[in-house]
A and B are shown apart, each in its own frame.
Chain A
């Protein structure tokens, strides 16, 4: 049974491929007259061959190999014929709904792994002095927490986009279903390499991998570089697919200003992912080749420049945070009208503000480097550009308030999480300009204040909306309702706990607590820093507990929950006009758009099905 799963085959192939790659590298070195063992080269070749072997084993490239032989392969829909239906979630499947769930579940898994790393070192920080974590272990965990959670967020964004976009625009599937499956599965060897790097010394100079520390640190950095190459490939291919889907596969009458607003957020996100991801690939590839081949990009000895790495790295890694938050902000804009029974205020402004954030986001990377010693005259333009981001973000906030204003609000769990997201994102947003201003950043750089700021942004921009999205679309995905009491319990534990944690982080930061440091002076902040750290740790554990409640709720409700009606939220969006759970071929007939997406309170529909065309599948 286990061997019938693509995942199992993939893992076996990856293990074999890694060994094979290592042997090939060693034989090559031997033939070229070099020393047999060089861990840098051997592990890189092994990791690379192993990653692509996984893709072969899991079956994600089977159809393409057939194409290379000149054979056409039909796109098979539906569960596998000779195996139980659940196996499709562990194998290559081309249905975007299956892939969306694969993304989301993997995301939750990575989120919990990354979160557990944080809980371990948070426990260490609860008291001054060293208790149970060694210095090296602490550094390892902090780097792993960073990248595991970033990978989890990218997966979660992919999950929401893959599941929702084709349903929302009434398309049968994504434009390139095979590429879609490939883009998901390439994350798995990536995530495995990321976690495996812990056994090769981790990446103990921080997740940013700044040279020269990263080019001299443990060999775990090589696995990090490779892992991000794989995950980045997924971002690029996935976003390409989403762009083509949104631009070409809309039904009759759905012009670009009539698509559900979440699709606009995905459009903006995809533009960033498509382009900026190449930059981190370039930076990490240079780091990788500096270590493995001695190519001196960043080594000042031969004329290299370590600051160059920071520029290229942040050219991706700053826009990347908009990749993390824009879909979440799209979810907020999507859910508020449903639970306010009012039209979304300023649809066009919201749509274009996502694009504006994405474009301005390309011009702000230097604000991470105010203290790096780059040319002073660059600081002011970067500061102004960064502050400019507040304008389109403000547009979103005002629109949300105006949408709720005078509405008939209902407060089931998804709405609570939407409101929680707004409050938490406001906290993250308001601490942004303080850090964007050169004068204050010079003092706050690399303190825990920064940690508090970006945790608030990412919780408000991703974690809360992701939870809202999970609860909101859970009935559509499983056909059953989640447990409302447990959902509310999750919300009422997580939100105050998060506020406590984030404000605690910011407070210890202003007291002088530095980032990524295992120990601190207990006399800081008038002797209060230890108490603040303890509060923060307790709050972090409460967040962990609330996530466990959610997982329990989702797992049990999928089995024993009340049967969900087709449209429990009375939403106008196309995916709610079809049965729950969504049938294999989502729409029985092509859609036709006859109204506006958010005209709540009006009689006219947003979409109708063109029954005369029923059974006539759309071309793709």
Chain B
């Protein structure tokens, strides 16, 4: 390796180290956004006696979208490992699956949980105007969905660039950023899912 190329790799490593720190600081910041929403949920979903309550939601919808999202994180990890080992085909296929599962998750939330499209086999929907139940459900899933949409857009960008050989074994910060962002959004859902679907007495 020539001295110039070694220099360039050194510059790239320094930049990536800074980028990584910036990304994690951003996640730390976002923690306070999602934390604020969780606090809102536990402050507002209580009955007169102070017991924690939750609305009665379709448990199947919640479980299925959660499984889909968790599965997508697995493929995201495979994708990152593949590019680090220079397996371009694996990288692209896994990334494609991740994005696809992300879209399935989004459709699951928007169609089945939000009831944006009326379906005969889903019984009753809570709308955003239905008191604190509606407000908190739509606030939490809405804010999370915005992040998933961003993540899917990120995946599309990385996938397109990946096809054009922008990333190599040594230089794939873009893939890494996309991956940790996706895992982070996933992690948030791991806290949101029980908070919305599982914790507390179900109230009609």
Contact = CB atoms under 8 A, between A and B. Distances in A.
Contact of B18 (A279, A285, A296, A620): A620
Interface stretch (B88-96, B101-109, B127-135): B127-135
Interface in B1-40: 10-11, 14-15, 17-18, 21-22, 25-26, 28-33, 36-37, 39-40
Interface in B101-145: 128-136, 138-139, 143
A338 to B, nearest CB: 31
A304 B160 contact: no
Interface string B167-202: 000000010000000000000000000000000000
Contact of A286 (B25, B40, B129): B40
B131 A176 contact: no
B204 interface: no
A289 interface: yes
B21 to A, nearest CB: 5
Interface string A294-307: 11110001111100
Given A295-B129, A304-B132, A274 B25 contact: yes
Contact of A296 (B21, B37, B134, B157): B134
Contacts of B17: 248
Contacts of B129: 293-296
Interface stretch (A237-245, A326-334, A429-437, A511-519): A237-245
Contacts of A243: 21, 25
Given A70-B161, A236-B29, A620-B15, A278 B36 contact: yes
B44 interface: yes
Given A70-B166, A302-B130, A295 B138 contact: yes
Nearest to A289: B139
Contacts of A247: 21
B33 A281 contact: yes
Contacts of B135: 286, 289-290, 295-297, 302, 304
Nearest to A301: B131
A308 B45 CA distance: 12
B125 to A, nearest CB: 15
A276 B139 contact: no
A262 to B, nearest CB: 20
Nearest to B12: A619
A175 B43 contact: no
B40 A312 contact: yes
B139 A286 contact: yes
Nearest to A275: B32
A248 B31 CA distance: 23
B83 to A, nearest CB: 14
A70 B32 contact: no
Main secondary structure, interface of A, reads helix
A76 interface: no
Interface residues of A, number: 43
A244 B17 CA distance: 10
A294 B10 contact: no
B46 to A, nearest CB: 9
A290 B135 CA distance: 8
Interface in B40-90: 40, 43-44
A31 interface: no
Contacts of A301: 131
B131 A244 contact: no
B32 A297 contact: no
Contacts of B22: 175-176, 179, 240-241, 244
A68 interface: yes
A289 B18 CA distance: 36
A282 interface: yes
Nearest to A617: B11
A295 to B, nearest CB: 4
A279 B36 contact: yes
A305 B164 contact: no
A276 B29 CA distance: 8
Nearest to A618: B14
A616 to B, nearest CB: 10
A70 B131 contact: no
A302 B132 CA distance: 6
B52 to A, nearest CB: 13
Contact of A303 (B26, B44, B138, B157): B44
A305 B43 CA distance: 9
Contacts of B11: 619-620
B76 to A, nearest CB: 19
Given A274-B28, A308-B44, A248 B18 contact: yes
B36 A295 contact: no
Nearest to B134: A295
A197 B104 CA distance: 40
A244 B33 contact: no
Contacts of B30: 278
Given A297-B44, A305-B43, A619 B14 contact: yes
A176 B25 contact: no
A506 B25 CA distance: 41
Contact of A276 (B21, B32, B161): B32
Contacts of A296: 129, 131-132, 134-135
B128 A619 contact: no
B18 A240 contact: no
Nearest to B7: A619
B153 to A, nearest CB: 9
Nearest to B20: A244
Given A244-B25, A304-B131, A278 B139 contact: no
A217 to B, nearest CB: 19
B132 A293 contact: no
Nearest to A298: B135
Contact of A282 (B33, B133, B134, B160): B33
A269 B39 CA distance: 24
A276 B33 CA distance: 9
A247 B135 CA distance: 40
B127 to A, nearest CB: 9
Interface in A144-169: none
Contacts of A249: 18
Nearest to A277: B29
A246 to B, nearest CB: 11
Given A247-B21, A296-B131, 10 more contacts: A68-B161, A244-B22, A248-B17, A248-B21, A282-B36, A293-B138, A295-B134, A297-B132, A302-B130, A620-B11
Q: Give the 4 A-B residue pairs with the shortest CB-CB distance, closest first.
A: A302-B131, A295-B135, A278-B32, A282-B36
Interface of B: 10-11, 14-15, 17-18, 21-22, 25-26, 28-33, 36-37, 39-40, 43-44, 128-136, 138-139, 143, 157, 160-161, 164, 166, 174
18 contacts: A175-B18, A243-B25, A244-B18, A247-B21, A274-B29, A276-B32, A278-B33, A278-B36, A282-B32, A295-B129, A297-B132, A297-B139, A302-B130, A305-B43, A308-B40, A312-B36, A619-B11, A620-B11
